[in-house]
Amino acid sequence: MNALGRHVALVGFMGAGKTRLARDVATRVGRECVDADRAIEGRTQLSVSQFFAQRGELEFRVMEASMVREALRSDTPAVIALGGGAVKTPEVRDALRRHALTVLVDVDVETAWERVKRSDRPLAQNEQQFRKLFDERQPLYREVADVVVKSGDADGAVLAAAGVHHEIGSLERLGELAPGDQVALVADAHVLGIHGARAQEALGARLATVHEVPAGEEAKRLQVAERLWDELTLDRGGSVVALGGGSTTDLAGYVAASYLRGVAWVAVPTTLVGQIDAAIGGKTAIDIRGGKNLVGAFHWPARTVIDPALLETLPERERRQGLAELVKTQLLAGAELDARGAAAYKAGLCLQDPHDTGVRRFLNLGHTFAHALEAAADFELTHGDAVALGLLAALRLSGRDTGPVESALAPQPVAVDRERAWAALLRDKKRSGGDINLVLLGADGPLVEARPEAEVRAALATLIA
């Protein structure tokens, strides 16, 4: 479940911090922020406390329900912060179920009381009554909530909006997190040997078939996709579960997008690259001889299940591949991020731009060069090493210091055919006349800018031994 085409509604008790969180989440996913209490104050020219004093709680609830339902019925998805008591109204609860991904902003009663006890909130003037009200409303919050995040957890709310379940031990919960009456599990032999038994046990009786695919980029071949199409026995109510790295999720997501004209799928990334980048946002693809990811589809996962514990078995070489994507995301965000923060950053851009026509293109920083080098190396160059080199080129063209990339990743030029790399680069990105569009870093952050072919070709040459 995700918030594509739907509102994100924040519910929870007073003092949970819904208003501040809604503003943060709205900024990160590129949506309008609607605060129900502030909207009522704007319409009536009365504060909430004045409204309670002059008209009473009953009339407030009637107006609140009307305005919340009006906001939820809007065709333009927004982030909506509801007042603490809005869920008391059955019509509001019904509207939430139909029109929103509902996020419970969880707070303990002691913290909530400390935050509001000196305010003019009409229902926060007596601690005993406050605590009683807190207990009374918890079942209603749990009833409407699709997901629960802690107070102040903007990363968690953004991830939830993108359908990402991020939790240690979540592989064991795969059975409840994966939709479908039947499930097909796709993984390579190595991953099946390490995690396959637990995944199969979690899926239980709904597991219909298990499909082994090659490891790494070899999985993203047309003949592998064709074999999966032939082997699948799912009906339209089934789902594909992709357990593995970015190549596995790319392949399985594309197969799911095209099988029976589209069935649901779940990404369960087992690599750092997958957990911060490849498995988030619904871009699926396979490779052809002309280049990387040139055949694919936008098919958002029904859920992305990220279990950080799966990285404990990750070899250092694979961890390095993910580090390149983490460094890229930190450059884009202009901030230090951990893996969860990087996943949330990508999720926010993808929710703003599901089909990669606007700000989502920023995530291709360095990738125009990286994909060209990978193709010229017959995909024997690892993605992380290629991205590290691509970031060097992007930073040089941006007039930025390459030190952060060099110190973190120490990229070295690769021995590939220059003409083949250039041909692959020209296919990877569209030209504008004699220029090539690249993601670069400007003074105010990332941007897409056209640069002359000669300049781009010279930058590519610096990456080739």
d(CA 203, CA 183): 8
Residue positions counted in the chain: 465
For the chain, report the end-to-end CA distance as a whole number of angstroms.
47
Under 8 Å between Cβ of 225 and 286:
yes
Report how far Cα 328 is from the mean position of its chain's Cα atoms.
16
d(CA 302, CA 289): 30
Q: pLDDT averaged over consecutive 10-residue blocks of the chain (465 residues)?
A: 95 96 97 95 92 92 93 96 95 96 97 94 93 97 97 97 97 96 97 97 98 95 97 97 96 98 97 95 91 91 97 87 94 96 97 93 95 92 94 97 95 96 82 82 94 95 97
**What is the reported pLDDT for 1?**
84
Helix or strand (DSSP H, E) at 371: helix 367-376
One domain, residues 151 and 198: no
Q: Which residues pair with 295 in a beta bridge?
A: 286
* CATH code of the domain in which 384 resides: 1.20.1090.10
Out of 161, 177, 206, a domain closes at: 161
One domain, residues 213 and 296: yes
Q: State the amino acid at position 180 in one-letter form.
A: G
* Neighbour-count burial of 110, counting CB atoms closer than 10 A to its CB (0-12 exposed, 13-18 middle, 19+ buried): exposed
One domain, residues 18 and 122: yes
**What is the reported pLDDT for 59?**
93
**What is the reported pLDDT for 432?**
62
Residue 321 lies in a domain: no
d(CA 403, CA 209): 48
Which residue, 95, 119, 128, 113, is CA-closest to 11?
95
Q: Which residues pair with 147 in a beta bridge?
A: 103
Residue 322 lies in a domain: no
d(CA 359, CA 356): 7
d(CA 402, CA 243): 35
**What is the reported pLDDT for 320?**
85
d(CA 87, CA 102): 11
d(CA 323, CA 385): 10
Report the interhelical angle of 418-428 vs 367-376 (nearest 10°): 130
One domain, residues 307 and 186: yes
One domain, residues 237 and 376: no
* CATH code of the domain in which 248 resides: 3.40.50.1970
- Give the residue numbers spanning the domain of 144: 7-161
Q: How many CA atoms lie within 13 A of 327 on its CB side?
A: 28
What is the number of structural domains in the chain?
A: 3
Residue 1 lies in a domain: no
One domain, residues 119 and 230: no
Out of 100, 129, 161, a domain closes at: 161
* CATH code of the domain in which 47 resides: 3.40.50.300
Q: CA-CA-CA-CA torsion for 189, 192, 195, 199, nearest 10 degrees?
A: 160
d(CA 299, CA 154): 25
The whole model's pTM is what? 0.92
One domain, residues 171 and 142: no
Residue 394 lies in a domain: yes
Owner of token pair 């594309």: 254
What single DSSP character describes residue 236?
T
One domain, residues 181 and 227: yes
One domain, residues 187 and 114: no
**What is the reported pLDDT for 38?**
92
Residue 114 lies in a domain: yes
One domain, residues 433 and 409: yes
Residue 319 lies in a domain: no
**What is the reported pLDDT for 429?**
57
d(CA 28, CA 41): 26
**What is the reported pLDDT for 242?**
98
Residue 374 lies in a domain: yes
Instruction: Give φ, ψ of 405 to 5 degrees.
Output: -75, -45
Residue 342 lies in a domain: yes
**What is the reported pLDDT for 293?**
87
What single DSSP character describes residue 413?
-
Under 8 Å between Cβ of 277 and 325:
yes
One domain, residues 56 and 16: yes
**What is the reported pLDDT for 315?**
86
Question: What sections of 83-196 are H helices per DSSP?
Answer: 90-99, 109-116, 127-144, 154-161, 174-177, 189-191
Q: Which residues pair with 452 in a beta bridge?
A: 435
One domain, residues 262 and 207: yes
d(CA 99, CA 8): 9
Out of 144, 161, 178, a domain closes at: 161
d(CA 373, CA 417): 9
